[in-house]
Structure 1
Amino acid sequence: MVEKPKSHSRLGVRKFLRNQLHILLYAIVHTIFSVYIRLRQAYHAVKDQILAILYYHHRTPELIQKDVKGLSRLPKHLSVILKLEDGGRGGAGLEALVDEVAEISAWCACVGIPMLSVYEQTGILKGYIPATHRAMSRKLSSYFGPQHHGISLRSPHMPSVESPATTPTSETHPAGARNLSVLLLSAEDGRDSLVDLTKTLAEMSQRSKLSSKDISLDLVDAEISESVVGEPDLLIGLKVEQVRNETPVASFDAMSLFRPPLVRSASATLNRALFSKTIPVAAARIQSVKNISKFRAQLQKTKELLILERLLIVRPDPDPTLAAKGGKCLLLKPHVKPTDPTTWSTELQESVKEEELQIVPYDLTLNYDYWTYHDVVTSLLPEDALGEVPVGFAIVGHIAHLNLKDEYLPYKNVIAQVLMDKNPNILTVINKTDDVGTLSEFRTFAYEVLAGVNKMKVEVSEADCTFRFDYSQVYWNTRLQTEHKRLVDSFNPGEVVCDVMAGVGPFAVPAGKKGVFVWANDLNPASYASMKDAIARNKVEHFVRPFCEDGHTFIHHAADDLLSLTAEGQNTVTIPSKQKHSRKGPPIPPPPKIITVPQTINHFVMNLPANAIDFLGSFNGLYHGHEALFVPNTEIKLPMIHVHCFSTKSDDNVKESVEICERITEKLGYEVKVGDKDLTIHELSERGNNNYG
């Protein structure tokens, strides 16, 4: 018998070994890749943690709690002293102050401090208690998420604003620390309490329930502390020099001298003479006017110089004879007494001893012209009307446009008069009496003239362009200036923009100056007339073409118009060049500049927030039959549509975006979702309703 070869057996062993080798190699590669992934994840985790500590530690409650863990005792009542940076005129300083209160409140909530009192001299925050409460809620949400502490915001003799806690009780947030109470204080606080306490003590004394011998400083102090606010465990806000030179209470009382007098009355009339106030202070008489700068710097360093907003520190000498000879003096703080050298700093005593200075009494008179609008209005209005003092208003040319709430209507005329007094450029103050668009379809509104002349024709400058229009017949929103610039900046010279609701041209005219071709339309004949004037006035006739027709039809009209111009060979614009003058001979006219107008539109703008989304259906089939003009056949993209809309007020931007997409989907007829590459939602402002673009 012949033995069969064993080649099959050997091949089976090789195949087995090869498979095992493959498995081993796969295992090694998989292990290396897994280790790499793990190391990469660990690297990013450590990196994110480091970046969080470096950049976002202030919004990480756990890290903030670690910061205070080593303290032997945590204050139960924290008091801070803040300052309004812009002298009581509101604006950016007020916004920064509100944000600072919200930030400190969130920090207190993180570490478990249940009571916070905020002292701000002017008391401007008391006019914005609801707005401050909203800012605090948003700040807590950014720290803790949707579930956070309860907030109680109040001020003496004013109703509080409260919101319940949404944080579940846990070791991190025990039940006792789930609520944060914030008290707003100012230089005026304590006056009403002193009056009430005086009446109470007098009644108790008359009824023989209290002896006059029992009335002491300790009793008054205890009663005031109980009715206003107890002593804080920790006070933050005074520098070392302030603590050394003057106690907080003395500082508060002294500075309250420079608050405007209270002239509240039921008639709500303006008597400017009642705002004159004379304050006895001290002044440093300078023997030689050459030393004014020297002693001004010295007294400022020793914290004795009286520095107030809008107040001249260098004054004529109180002695008329010396003043006539050019004598000058420097105003000093109230704690410096002319007859008490112990209230003078060592440097001041030395200067007096060397007869370079002399401390004399000075009667400082502050009249109506000194006080700000906020000072006067808060002094005039009754306490129950100080919830949100009206300080915000729009200025359109010489017109101030108010939108007063019902509770301020009884005081509308006095508010308007003060507003005019404090803003010399304002000649007319009006108040809106109905919503925009109620009077007509052209977004105009009903109004009443509260002060000044009934002159509604204005001139406005924006983006280096001049506009003239009748404010009672057209729509103009000064708060949209940033949005106008944002969109115009996104347009490139040589592109075509179709402004469907152009108004008087705040988008169209600046874009035309930039070399952008604009087909600008508005249904309002008054807006159309003013837009034509702005086009001529700003010399953009070669780039901006005005129209007055319905927006739905204009969308197709503009697109068809461009296509027709190209087809007919009329899609060029000739811009004459400026003449060059020469001394050697007659000026040689340079050749004109010829620019070709594209045949398709790059941008559509629909700035009609109330119903601009309703116009989206008009874009369906806009370039039907001309698909070859766009990608992928060419490099030209379909037009970008900038549509503005209102959305209900909410802290949930994701929810708002989803609702906006649903409205767009309904009008376009196909689904648009948040996150689509061709969709961008930009939040413009937060003024009652949210405005999106």
Structure 2
Amino acid sequence: MPLNTKDLRAYRRDEKYGHRIMTAEERIRLLKPYLPPPPPRTNSQRAEAKAREKRSRFGVRRFLRMQLHLLVFTLIHAFFSLYIRTRQAYHAIVNRVYSVFHYHHRTPGLIQKDVKGLDKLPRHLSVILTLEDHGRGGAGLEKLVNDAAELAAWCASAGIPQLSIYEKSGILKSYLAETHRAVSQKLAAYFGPASPGLTMGAPHIPAIESPATSTVHGEGAKHLSILLLSAEDGRDSIVDLTKTLTEMSQRSKLSSADISTELVDAELTESIMGEPDLLILFGPHVELSSYPPWQIRLTEIYHVQDNHEVGYQVFYGGLCKYAGAQMQKAMFRPPIVRSGASALNRALFSKKVNLAAAAVSDNRLISKYRQSLTASKEILLAERLSPVVSHPDQTVAAQGRKCLLLSPEVKPEVPDTWGAVLKDGVQKQELSVMPYELELDYNYWSYHDVMTSVLPEEFHDDIPSGFNTAGHVAHLNLRERFLPYKYVVAEVLIEKNPGIKTVINKVDNVGSGSEFRTFQYEVLAGVDDLNVKVSENNCVFEFDYAKVYWNSKLEWEHRRLVDLFQPGEVVVDVMAGIGPFAVPAGKKGVFVWANDMNPESFKYLQQAIKRNKVTEFVRPLCQDGRFLIYEVADLVLDAHKKGEHATIPPKKVSRSKDKHAPAPQPERIPIPPTISHFVMNLPASAIEFLGCYTGLYEGREALFEPVTTTKLPMVHVHCFSYKADDETPGIDICQRISRELMFKFRPGNPENEGEVAIHSVRDVAPAKRMFCASFRLPRDIAFAKVGPM
């Protein structure tokens, strides 16, 4: 028998304070009614207990009660089993009928025929796939890749330009090249010699692109973009963005008023993906499996009960469901404003939407009915729009009365369209349904909405959205066909992104007019002020964006290399810029010799070192990188011999601790005699500097293995090469490194002499990609005899 609430509260309170509130006798009196009866102790009590047990053993009542329970459980089990079996059979028959009337036969024309009658197709379709048996034995992975390839072929045939595939573990992202190859083969099987172009990538991973094999005819997609997602792209990304925005707000880089839904939308869209129009689940239940939550706030979700596999019938059913659910989206689509490229007429973006609204008699009931109407799907759910609005009658609104906007399916003059919650509220006179005219203006529409309205329809597939940002500056690299609209694009970009104050467009290639990787630009909108403040990897940088090189898209590459460095090591950053590698490494306790030939970069590097308090670890230099490589080994060894070190002040001792304890001493970290890493981030020409490493440690073999445990330095050199999903770029890079060092290199494990790890950093052009080649300096190179310089 459980304790009642009063006794339970009294016992827990006594227990919380160590049983000091109640005496032992009081506790016994409290618990005694809830304890089982004690076992019989006298002979008469034992005899009576045995008689009771004997009577109960052969009791008819007990037998009948057990049979009744069994009957009830059997009936319940039979009822639900029959329901589930009937439902499964129904869905199996429906799917079979669908498969008879709608099947693709791997023919794009048949799929195009199926979707031709649909009023609307999603431009961005997302699906959730599951790795069966966690990939044991490889069969699960093979099926997963095959399902992804089939879905890609169906989307390309139907004319859907973008497909995002979510798999929780991220194994597809790990096999990006293999998945791209499988999808390409599947498209070839469907389309033959006229396969559409294909781009496949993942957040923070460079995309693999293959062009169309020939001109694609028909109504299918001319180019298909596929984005692979996993659980780490969901809540973790939102948490990271929250931390970044919080840090920017604390550092007064961003006002809390500037943090809006539009800003979060823009950041998550750029780093992860935009919101899909339709999400299809191929499992028997609505299970999102940690799918990115922000991106599906208003997405249509479709699934078929009792379905367990990826099938064309479910795919086609989802498209049909989406086409029938577009009434609300059509109502909130911006007006078409083809006002030309010269000016933006904001007045033309006004739109009136006729809806129904439920006026609430008492504002204290708003929360109750908002929850109830949301659960019954009668309330209006529209992006960037609150369903709670003022009463349309100005006199009533002056009294503070509110209304709840209702779904477009609800008609104020047709009670048959009202749901149970709405009818019940009206009957109780707590709600009254009335027409409501919702006015939307330019401020409501997002950047993408405005661009869709302004730009011609043939431009909608690649509306400018991916751009570099440096503080308040947005750096566009517009394609030629968007140049007539460049001022409109920039103007809307500023107005829809509160953190951006200046928009510039690059008018030449980086470094084409300067050896310091700067570029010529034009200001498209905002003030011509490129003095920016940027936060990256917990470091703050201030610089003139026009005078130094900075690329916000390399943040993950900066972090990746810094994570390789260990505290107390020496790193030489040959082309350091303003310190995106050097300063975070210094904060980690890594000694860095940071060099850049650009005097402006050197100036801002010095400021960043001082501002981020890493003067103990980072030493700035301004000279030709070749000369630095020749002499830096001597510089480091001399610093070690002189006993140079970094001094870390002790942590503050809490006042509550022992006052007589000895004061903590500052920590001294000595500079080691050798260099652990070289970083060469000048992709256009860094490989040409590699010949300078010949004889780097001439005559100093005793500093390294096998005499000591120290290994020769690791060299990380950035470069450009072909964009391909095979080994062609790696072979090309190794051949170029081999020519410069006159030593044979091949792709492989960098810990093995003569092998290079090739890391893909990012795409920079349709056929060009940036890589980082990492290798350990071979002994024959490091100890080569070169004589005096």
What is the TM-score of this pair, normalised by structure 1?
A: 0.69
Instruction: Give the partner amino acid of 1:685.
Output: R
Q: Offset at 1:535? A: 0.5
RMSD (Å), alpha carbons: 3.9
Aligned with residue 551 of structure 1, among 625, 628, 631: 625
Q: Offset at 1:182? A: 4.2
Contact 1:284 1:331 in 2 (8 A): yes
| Other-structure match for 2:740 | 667
Structure 1 residue 512 corresponds to structure 2 residue 586: yes
Structure 1 residue 315 corresponds to structure 2 residue 343: no
Q: Structure 1 residues 377, 436: CA separation in 2 closer, same or farther (over 3 Å shift)?
A: same
Separation (CA, whole Å) in 1 of partners of 2:647 and 2:148: 62
Aligned with residue 401 of structure 2, among 316, 321, 327: 327
Separation (CA, whole Å) in 2 of partners of 1:162 and 1:536: 48
Q: Secondary structure at the match of 2:326?
A: helix
Structure 1 residue 107 corresponds to structure 2 residue 186: no
Aligned length: 530
What runs of 5+ residues in structure 2 fail to find an aligned partner? 1-94, 105-110, 127-144, 165-175, 198-209, 225-311, 773-789
Instruction: Give the partner amino acid of 1:682.
Output: H
Separation (CA, whole Å) in 1 of partners of 2:535 and 2:322: 47
Aligned with residue 330 of structure 2, among 256, 271, 282: 256
Aligned with residue 485 of structure 1, among 548, 559, 564: 559
Separation (CA, whole Å) in 2 of partners of 1:305 and 1:581: 55
Q: Offset at 1:350? A: 3.0
Instruction: Give the partner amino acid of 2:760.
Output: E
Separation (CA, whole Å) in 1 of partners of 2:567 and 2:676: 11
Aligned with residue 441 of structure 1, among 515, 540, 548: 515
Q: Secondary structure at the match of 1:378?
A: helix
Q: Secondary structure at the match of 1:278?
A: strand
Separation (CA, whole Å) in 2 of partners of 1:184 and 1:667: 39
Q: Structure 1 residues 579, 294: CA separation in 2 closer, same or farther (over 3 Å shift)?
A: closer
Separation (CA, whole Å) in 1 of partners of 2:147 and 2:483: 35
Q: Secondary structure at the match of 1:386?
A: helix
Q: Structure 1 residues 139, 368: CA separation in 2 closer, same or farther (over 3 Å shift)?
A: farther
Separation (CA, whole Å) in 1 of partners of 2:155 and 2:468: 40
Structure 1 residue 278 corresponds to structure 2 residue 352: yes
1:550-606 Cα distance to aligned partner (Å, 9 max, x none): 001101221110122233x33333344466696999998753322210010000000
| Other-structure match for 1:692 | 771
Structure 1 residue 401 corresponds to structure 2 residue 475: yes
| Other-structure match for 2:718 | 644
1:420-446 Cα distance to aligned partner (Å, 9 max, x none): 000111111100000000120000000
| Other-structure match for 1:14 | none
Contact 1:152 1:181 in 2 (8 A): no
Q: Structure 1 residues 109, 638: CA separation in 2 closer, same or farther (over 3 Å shift)?
A: closer
| Other-structure match for 1:538 | 612
1:23-62 Cα distance to aligned partner (Å, 9 max, x none): xxxxxxxxxxxxxxxxxxxxxxxxxxxxxxxxxxxxxxxx
Separation (CA, whole Å) in 2 of partners of 1:69 and 1:683: 47
Q: Offset at 1:236? A: 4.3
Aligned with residue 181 of structure 1, among 208, 220, 225: 220
Instruction: Give the partner amino acid of 1:106.
Output: A
Q: Offset at 1:393? A: 1.1
| Other-structure match for 2:760 | 683
Q: Structure 1 residues 522, 578: CA separation in 2 closer, same or farther (over 3 Å shift)?
A: same
| Other-structure match for 1:373 | 447
Q: Offset at 1:681? A: 1.1
Q: Secondary structure at the match of 1:690?
A: strand
Q: Structure 1 residues 370, 648: CA separation in 2 closer, same or farther (over 3 Å shift)?
A: same
Q: Secondary structure at the match of 2:475?
A: strand
Q: Offset at 1:691? A: 1.2
Percent identical residues = 45
Structure 1 residue 342 corresponds to structure 2 residue 400: no
Aligned with residue 634 of structure 2, among 539, 556, 560: 560
Equivalence map 1:419-434=2 (5 Å): 419-434=493-508
Higher mean alpha-carbon deviation, 296-305 vs 604-613, is at 296-305
Contact 2:155 2:161 in 1 (8 A): no
Separation (CA, whole Å) in 2 of partners of 1:621 and 1:183: 54
Contact 2:102 2:313 in 1 (8 A): no
Q: Offset at 1:340? A: 1.2
Contact 2:212 2:222 in 1 (8 A): no
Q: Secondary structure at the match of 2:747?
A: coil
Structure 1 residue 142 corresponds to structure 2 residue 142: no
Separation (CA, whole Å) in 2 of partners of 1:278 and 1:455: 39
Q: Offset at 1:342? A: 2.0
Separation (CA, whole Å) in 2 of partners of 1:691 and 1:68: 49
Q: Structure 1 residues 341, 585: CA separation in 2 closer, same or farther (over 3 Å shift)?
A: closer
Instruction: Give the partner amino acid of 1:660.
Output: I
| Other-structure match for 2:232 | none
Separation (CA, whole Å) in 2 of partners of 1:164 and 1:580: 69
What is the TM-score of this pair, normalised by structure 2?
A: 0.61
Separation (CA, whole Å) in 2 of partners of 1:513 and 1:677: 26
Higher mean alpha-carbon deviation, 531-540 vs 674-683, is at 674-683
What runs of 5+ residues in structure 1 fail to find an aligned partner? 1-66, 87-101, 125-135, 155-160, 167-177, 186-232
Q: Secondary structure at the match of 1:624?
A: coil
Q: Secondary structure at the match of 2:697?
A: coil
Instruction: Give the partner amino acid of 2:693.
Output: F
Aligned with residue 683 of structure 2, among 609, 622, 625: 609
Aligned with residue 522 of structure 1, among 583, 596, 603: 596
Separation (CA, whole Å) in 2 of partners of 1:531 and 1:351: 66
Q: Structure 1 residues 267, 477: CA separation in 2 closer, same or farther (over 3 Å shift)?
A: closer
1:319-356 Cα distance to aligned partner (Å, 9 max, x none): 22222222111111222111111222243223322322
Separation (CA, whole Å) in 2 of partners of 1:560 and 1:616: 18
Structure 1 residue 163 corresponds to structure 2 residue 212: yes
Q: Offset at 1:524? A: 0.3
Separation (CA, whole Å) in 1 of partners of 2:643 and 2:497: 51
Contact 1:74 1:113 in 2 (8 A): no
Q: Structure 1 residues 612, 435: CA separation in 2 closer, same or farther (over 3 Å shift)?
A: same
Q: Structure 1 residues 529, 162: CA separation in 2 closer, same or farther (over 3 Å shift)?
A: closer
1:615-673 Cα distance to aligned partner (Å, 9 max, x none): 11111110010011111111000000011111122232x11111111111111101001
Higher mean alpha-carbon deviation, 557-566 vs 593-602, is at 557-566
1:272-324 Cα distance to aligned partner (Å, 9 max, x none): 11111111111111122222222222222332211011111111111222222
1:4-39 Cα distance to aligned partner (Å, 9 max, x none): xxxxxxxxxxxxxxxxxxxxxxxxxxxxxxxxxxxx
Separation (CA, whole Å) in 2 of partners of 1:627 and 1:648: 38
